[in-house]
Chains A and B, each alone.
Chain A
Amino acid sequence: GQNIDQPTEMTATEGAIVQINCTYQTSGFNGLFWYQQHAGEAPTFLSYNVLDGLEEKGRFSSFLSRSKGYSYLLLKELQMKDSASYLCACLDGTALIFGKGTTLSVSS
């Protein structure tokens, strides 16, 4: 079956580093996406991993291990505006299979 697990909530303080983990089991796999979603807004693309390893993009990095069915999103130098929901999604065929999302709260 299709299953994507990520923590429901996380909290952190400004300037800190936070890692959001995601484990997945899907029938097909064409890559893993991370999206950010602020309340009432559209999900926006953060990263895409299709090969094992770390992809770095500014303050955000994403890691993938296909053999372990595991990914994480690393956010550095946290800012208040990073408070949002972070969605892990696997591409199965051409459809995205989403986790429930991790709500990150950043405090000062």
Chain B
Amino acid sequence: EAGVTQFPSHSVIEKGQTVTLRCDPISGHDNLYWYRRVMGKEIKFLLHFVKESKQDESGMPNNRFLAERTGGTYSTLKVQPAELEDSGVYFCASSPGTNTEAFFGQGTRLTVV
């Protein structure tokens, strides 16, 4: 069974550019989460989808970040325009239920220069 996959694994972009990260959850998992780890800090929650609906987006830092999950399958997280402080590792996770183990992807390392 394939795990959670994320694309790309690394991305280096210039300040002001746009980047779109993609996450393919484990098949059949209705719950999909985005997290971010900024260097030196803890992993922080960004948002939670249940199927195609945003259940909780309280962790989204600002309106430069847009997450979508059309059709309730894969999800994208777009940063537009990117700022230096957006650099970090963006993790996606999925789970079959809300109070169960979340399976994480390997993350996308985003570097904004």
Which positions in A face B, CB cutoff 8 Å?
4, 30-31, 33, 35, 40-45, 48, 50, 87, 89, 91, 93-101
Contact = CB atoms under 8 A, between A and B. Distances in A.
A42 B56 contact: no
Interface string B30-67: 01010100000111110010000001101100000000
Contacts of B55: 94
Contacts of A87: 43
B3 A42 contact: yes
B41 A42 contact: no
From A40, A91, A95, name the one whose CB has the most chain B CB atoms within 10 angstroms. Answer: A95
Interface of B: 3-4, 31, 33, 35, 41-45, 48, 55-56, 58-59, 91, 98-107
A12 to B, nearest CB: 23
A103 B104 CA distance: 19
B70 to A, nearest CB: 21
Given A4-B42, A89-B43, 4 more contacts: A30-B99, A43-B91, A45-B102, A95-B48
A101 B39 CA distance: 13
Given A94-B31, A95-B48, A99-B42, A33 B59 contact: no
Contacts of A97: 45
Nearest to A88: B42
Nearest to A6: B42
B106 A41 contact: yes
Contacts of A48: 100-101
